[in-house]
Chains A and B, each alone.
Chain A
């Protein structure tokens, strides 16, 4: 009971404090009630598709379903727009003084002007011995892979200038490509495709892939797409080590290749001026477009999958809208572009002879006027690639490798869960597992990446036909009639044959029976009609008939 007395007093105390608090609340008022408003522009950025309106006279369940889904998507959109605050980095560009073209500013000047770390991003590697270099940056932008024509392969952590491995494969190297992590890379050598680890140890020699000239890696599908001199486009699933598809393009030597990062479609350029689009699911090209009068020399597709830039032997540079397959604009380059590359922010770099030119605002309707930046090198340019998340353009040429500063090229905000340039060893392992779990199957590659979220409206017959094709037999087909075995000599061959004949063509017979019946009915009707007609020839005495 004592205890009881105690808690009653306590209650009294709390009550008084609450009253005090209430008084405080009364005094203070929230000047900004409710949630913080989100600017319309940000909301627009995360709008996904059109809102669905509830049709008039819809059932209750439908109304609810639509309302719930709409509320959910709106909530998601709002939250995403809110979190957009967390991507504060912005890209800037090089701006010249009055009457000064930005393309006349030399790399050395830029390197001097910027801070030391950024300045160190402009450097040259003198590798004149092993011929023109191909290059590839890893997806995080930390590591650089260079492969010389004459067999020199090296991977470098280019920011710390830490040489990971260096070797000479003693064979012609056509192309080099990082696989999903910095731990592995593929080298297209004279005959076969080889896969090495980051220390330069040969992991695989894939003999199914021969005479590979160009490679592309599809990171979300774990597919290595290769284009060979024999005209084969092959897909290698690097997660399971299986060849997913091998397509004979029948287009001759394939030495121009690009991927569309939006829908993982491979673009190939051909000597007859066409560019063809491929997926591993179709033996023929998805789209074939005539782009140039001469052979296509180089290709590049932008990150959003909206624009494609091509350059051909006719010295033209063309920009296409590949959603509508329409050319936007084209221009002449004096020497024609041998290599093209698009940065994450849409800067186009074109290698014309020994000069690398960078163009701004190419993607869009306004035509190209003059380059944003330019840089002269020694020797033929063989490879061009922008470093992801950095304002750096890597150039592989006859005299080695040059890293060039291009302000405003890289995406300033990275998705740390997807590609984190600063990730640790453990994070990489974690990411690898997650990426493998989220691996997109190669069947889903197509022109429209949103195809999966659409209802398949094919007819039953069509689907049935496809099913038969896929399975190799008709799952709905009727079983063939099998007569029962009977005893006492009734299962003799003759008897079985008789029984079979009884059932044979049962379907056909049904049809015939039906058609006969219909015909007889029709005839009957006709007869009746004709009878009526006959009766129609009335004589004058017919009126006396009853």
Chain B
């Protein structure tokens, strides 16, 4: 309440001041007092002080508000302006104009009205804005088919003009060239490409397509074979097999790694990193630590069971192998070999690569404790055996493959027109290839494609190395031979490799076999026919013997009468016609609605046996329903047509008339044409059953924008024009320019007015 107190104090001061002046009039005193009292009420109302102009009467106590009600005229102010020299002529003129005009500004409308008007204007504006969508929406509703997304660019290569149209000049050189071009009126416009050319552009060349197809086919086949193989191998349940497999894999990997170190040190480094990672993981995990449930159970059994002990040891060994730190750069078994390669002379290295890496004795690096040695030796023997087995298996595979290849090679020379020597040489190349492939075979499926490419490149390289120039050209021919592909059954991946060399001759050879088969097939039927004819000849002989004049078929009048009489006699007993008529009348009676009799005899009158309800009652209480529509068989005496409605079809029928149709006839005629392919040609069926909406798979359907349907506007408002404009586009732009100029002209004219 601090401000209030202040006010109070001020007022008190004022009062005291007024008391000091004894000569002042009472009225004013009284007023002041009232004010003071009013202000004491605690209200915070601040009275506005009166403001007034300078006047004739000047008092030291107050300001006179005499002239407040009067309006100040412009002329009052102007007089001084006229006299002042500082004011510009222009403002003076304006002011004079203002003075001469008698109009006054209208009062601004109240809020409600202004808002109403604003709303009205806004509505009109929005309707105008929205109504420009009306046409396109109607059009889309009516459209027989909509294809989304709406503005799809055609696939395939575009016309040059389309590509270049949006391109803008940037460098000064370009600018110069364009200036030259436009100056010399180069024919850039009009369809640059004829439709035929466009089509030819769109289409891939035949050879290219063939090559691509062949490649794709091959890749697919290879993949499928590889997948099949992987699947089959995966299914094998034998642990031993997998062990052998794993070992072989590891071995291969080692070999590969060796090569990699020589050829691709970066790749080898990456591999090393991977190994490091695996080591880290192993160190982190408790896997192979013999601390699990299984390991514990085995530990109990280890005393008595040799195999359990062995298994445990294997686990530990695995752990050790994996956690072994790489000496210098490496630690893992593969690395150790690499290291050996670097430090030890070659002859030491040779046997080591063959020997089982699991065996620490053979690695020249003793890491195991003494007691373990005894069991490890036992293991060693087994692993050595396994190794032998593995090698045997691989050897067998090799032999089989070679055999199969030889078989195919046997076939080929007869078909091929190349000299035999070349073929043999090719054979050699293939065998060498096989070895390489063998190494690669165990790779992942995902890596397959890249691998395949690699192999191919290697092969071609080697082919060029090992063979003469003549064969080199032959190899090229083979490449071409890929294009004309026939049906070749490939049994395995190895075969596929062979395929490369053999494609062409086989493709030529294949169709010939079916042809001969077909010829045989055609040669067969005549035999059968001969038999038929024999049969017929036998049969016709008899037919000839039975050539008799037939009985008269249509009977004379007399005979007919006779026959009628006979028939009458025959069917005298059963009167078919009367039976039928009875049946029909029964049916008709059943179809007629029954009269409902609600008379209650004895109600409201005397009752008893033999008393009939009176006539008025019968009339009153018998309810007759409307007669049904005439029967279909009304005019057919010898036909009874059932009047029952078939409800089974009704459930499939349309029961309510669909929207735009006014009567059933219109609707029925609109669906009278069947749409099935049984009654129509293929194109018509497709046309009739085409979907209402077609969407492109995976494409985002954006909401429609104005620019989609008002294209001309957007192009006009394109801002800075593109460097290259073609055909109609340019013309349109010129037109817009012209129109823009016109507009500008008009505007300027208006201003002039």
Q: In the complex, how many angstroms separate the beta carbon of A110 from the nearest chain B beta carbon?
A: 10
Is A325 within 8 A of B636, CB to CB?
yes
B 522-562 contacts with A by CB, 8 A: 528-529, 531-533, 535-536, 539-540, 542-544, 546-555, 559-560
Is A52 within 8 A of B554, CB to CB?
no
Chain B residues, CB < 8 A from A289: 638-640
Is A463 within 8 A of B173, CB to CB?
no
B612-651 Cβ-contact flags toward A at 8 Å (1 or 0): 0000000000000000000001001011111011111111
Is A272 within 8 A of B669, CB to CB?
no
Q: A282-B646, A293-B576 are in contact. Are A65 and B670 (CB under 8 A)?
A: yes
Taking the complex as formed, is A172 at the interface, i.e. its CB lies under 8 A from any CB of chain B?
Answer: no
Is B553 within 8 A of A120, CB to CB?
no
Is B688 within 8 A of A444, CB to CB?
no
Is A161 within 8 A of B531, CB to CB?
yes
Chain B residues, CB < 8 A from A21: 194
Taking the complex as formed, is B293 at the interface, i.e. its CB lies under 8 A from any CB of chain A?
Answer: no
| Stretch from B258-266, B456-464, B677-685, B697-705 at the A interface | B677-685
Select from chain B the residue with minimum beta-carbon distance to A62: B660
B528, B536, B657: which contacts A123 (Cβ < 8 A)?
A: B536
Is A14 within 8 A of B197, CB to CB?
yes
4 additional contacts, CB 8 Å, given A1-B173, A14-B194, A106-B547? Answer: A1-B174, A14-B193, A62-B660, A119-B536
Chain A residues, CB < 8 A from B662: 55, 58, 62
Give Cα distance in the complex from A7 to B644, angstroms: 80
B474-518 Cβ-contact flags toward A at 8 Å (1 or 0): 000000000000000000000000000000000000000000000
A326, A333, A335: which contacts B636 (Cβ < 8 A)?
A: A326
Q: List 16 A-B contacts (CB under 8 A).
A: A1-B177, A61-B659, A65-B660, A66-B670, A116-B533, A285-B642, A286-B641, A287-B639, A287-B641, A290-B639, A294-B567, A313-B570, A326-B636, A334-B551, A371-B553, A453-B668
Give Cα distance in the complex from A68 to B145, angstroms: 13
Is B580 within 8 A of A463, CB to CB?
no
Chain A residues, CB < 8 A from B639: 287-290, 325
Give Cα distance in the complex from A173 to B687, angstroms: 51
Chain A residues, CB < 8 A from B684: 75-76, 79-80
Q: In the complex, how many angstroms separate the beta carbon of B417 from the nearest chain A beta carbon?
A: 37
Select from chain B the residue with minimum beta-carbon distance to A289: B639
Taking the complex as formed, is A331 at the interface, i.e. its CB lies under 8 A from any CB of chain B?
Answer: yes
Q: A11-B188, A107-B543 are in contact. Are A334 and B552 (CB under 8 A)?
A: yes
| Stretch from A127-135, A383-391, A454-462 at the B interface | A454-462
Select from chain B the residue with minimum beta-carbon distance to A220: B678
Q: A18-B194, A52-B670, A55-B662 are in contact. Are A446 and B678 (CB under 8 A)?
A: no
Give Cα distance in the complex from A455 to B657, angstroms: 7
Is A451 within 8 A of B577, CB to CB?
no
| Stretch from A43-51, A91-99, A526-534 at the B interface | A43-51
Chain B residues, CB < 8 A from A443: 648-649, 651-652
Is A335 within 8 A of B551, CB to CB?
yes
B142, B536, B649: which contacts A111 (Cβ < 8 A)?
A: B536
B187, B559, B668, B688: which contacts A11 (Cβ < 8 A)?
A: B187
Is A444 within 8 A of B664, CB to CB?
no
Chain B residues, CB < 8 A from A163: none
B528, B672, B676: which contacts A453 (Cβ < 8 A)?
A: B672
Taking the complex as formed, is B103 at the interface, i.e. its CB lies under 8 A from any CB of chain A?
Answer: no
Q: A80-B681, A288-B639 are in contact. Are A48 and B673 (CB under 8 A)?
A: yes
B185-215 Cβ-contact flags toward A at 8 Å (1 or 0): 0111011111001000000000000000000
Is B540 within 8 A of A290, CB to CB?
no
Taking the complex as formed, is A511 at the interface, i.e. its CB lies under 8 A from any CB of chain B?
Answer: no
A470-486 Cβ-contact flags toward B at 8 Å (1 or 0): 10000000000000000
B194, B533, B553, B653: which contacts A451 (Cβ < 8 A)?
A: B653
B146-182 Cβ-contact flags toward A at 8 Å (1 or 0): 0000000000000010000000000001100100010
Select from chain B the residue with minimum beta-carbon distance to A325: B639
Q: In the complex, how many angstroms separate the beta carbon of A56 from the nearest chain B beta carbon?
A: 12
Taking the complex as formed, is A537 at the interface, i.e. its CB lies under 8 A from any CB of chain B?
Answer: no
Is A79 within 8 A of B554, CB to CB?
no
Q: A64-B142, A458-B650 are in contact. Are A293 and B567 (CB under 8 A)?
A: yes
Chain B residues, CB < 8 A from A108: 540, 543-544
Give Cα distance in the complex from A79 to B579, angstroms: 53
Is B543 within 8 A of A462, CB to CB?
no
Chain B residues, CB < 8 A from A50: 669
Select from chain B the residue with minimum beta-carbon distance to A125: B539
Taking the complex as formed, is A369 at the interface, i.e. its CB lies under 8 A from any CB of chain B?
Answer: yes
Interface of A is mostly: mixed
Chain B residues, CB < 8 A from A335: 551
Is B552 within 8 A of A106, CB to CB?
no
Q: In the complex, how many angstroms separate the beta carbon of B350 from the nearest chain A beta carbon?
A: 58
Taking the complex as formed, is B574 at the interface, i.e. its CB lies under 8 A from any CB of chain A?
Answer: yes
Chain A residues, CB < 8 A from B677: 417
Chain B residues, CB < 8 A from A417: 677-678
A19-43 Cβ-contact flags toward B at 8 Å (1 or 0): 0010000000000000000000000
Q: A1-B174, A453-B668 are in contact. Are A272 and B576 (CB under 8 A)?
A: yes
Is B650 within 8 A of A4, CB to CB?
no
Taking the complex as formed, is A12 at the interface, i.e. its CB lies under 8 A from any CB of chain B?
Answer: yes
Give Cα distance in the complex from A8 to B187, angstroms: 8
A68-79 Cβ-contact flags toward B at 8 Å (1 or 0): 110011011101
Chain B residues, CB < 8 A from A352: 551
Q: In the complex, how many angstroms separate the beta carbon of B538 from the nearest chain A beta carbon?
A: 9
Q: A76-B684, A103-B550, A368-B554 are in contact. Are A287 and B642 (CB under 8 A)?
A: yes
Q: A122-B540, A314-B571, A355-B551 are in contact. Are A48 and B672 (CB under 8 A)?
A: yes
A11, A61, A454: which contacts B664 (Cβ < 8 A)?
A: A454
Give Cα distance in the complex from A368 to B552, angstroms: 13
Interface centre among B181, B539, B645 (most CB of A within 10 A): B539
Q: In the complex, how many angstroms separate the beta carbon of B651 from the nearest chain A beta carbon?
A: 7
Is B187 within 8 A of A12, CB to CB?
yes
Select from chain A the residue with minimum beta-carbon distance to B191: A18
Chain A residues, CB < 8 A from B650: 456, 458, 463, 466
Taking the complex as formed, is A374 at the interface, i.e. its CB lies under 8 A from any CB of chain B?
Answer: yes
Is A370 within 8 A of B554, CB to CB?
yes
Taking the complex as formed, is B661 at the interface, i.e. its CB lies under 8 A from any CB of chain A?
Answer: yes
Chain B residues, CB < 8 A from A469: 647
Is A52 within 8 A of B567, CB to CB?
no
A1, A61, A111, A453: which contacts B540 (Cβ < 8 A)?
A: A111
Taking the complex as formed, is B671 at the interface, i.e. its CB lies under 8 A from any CB of chain A?
Answer: yes
Chain B residues, CB < 8 A from A123: 532, 535-536, 539
Q: In the complex, how many angstroms separate the beta carbon of B258 from the nearest chain A beta carbon?
A: 48
Taking the complex as formed, is B667 at the interface, i.e. its CB lies under 8 A from any CB of chain A?
Answer: yes
Closest 4 CB pairs of A and B: A52-B669, A73-B673, A69-B670, A443-B648
Q: In the complex, how many angstroms separate the beta carbon of A111 from the nearest chain B beta carbon?
A: 6
Is B669 within 8 A of A69, CB to CB?
yes
Is B655 within 8 A of A274, CB to CB?
no
Interface centre among A334, A456, A470 (most CB of B within 10 A): A456
Q: In the complex, how many angstroms separate the beta carbon of B370 from the nearest chain A beta carbon?
A: 75
Taking the complex as formed, is A376 at the interface, i.e. its CB lies under 8 A from any CB of chain B?
Answer: yes
Give Cα distance in the complex from A315 to B565, angstroms: 12
Is B647 within 8 A of A470, CB to CB?
yes
Select from chain A the residue with minimum beta-carbon distance to B186: A8
Taking the complex as formed, is A544 at the interface, i.e. its CB lies under 8 A from any CB of chain B?
Answer: no
Give Cα distance in the complex from A107 to B185, angstroms: 87
A59, A72, A106: which contacts B688 (Cβ < 8 A)?
A: A72
Taking the complex as formed, is A357 at the interface, i.e. its CB lies under 8 A from any CB of chain B?
Answer: yes
Select from chain B the residue with minimum beta-carbon distance to A276: B640
Chain A residues, CB < 8 A from B648: 281, 443-444
Taking the complex as formed, is A541 at the interface, i.e. its CB lies under 8 A from any CB of chain B?
Answer: no
Select from chain A the residue with minimum beta-carbon distance to B144: A68
Is B540 within 8 A of A79, CB to CB?
no
Is A83 within 8 A of B553, CB to CB?
no
Chain A residues, CB < 8 A from B552: 334
Taking the complex as formed, is B654 at the interface, i.e. its CB lies under 8 A from any CB of chain A?
Answer: yes
Q: A65-B660, A120-B532 are in contact. Are A51 and B553 (CB under 8 A)?
A: no
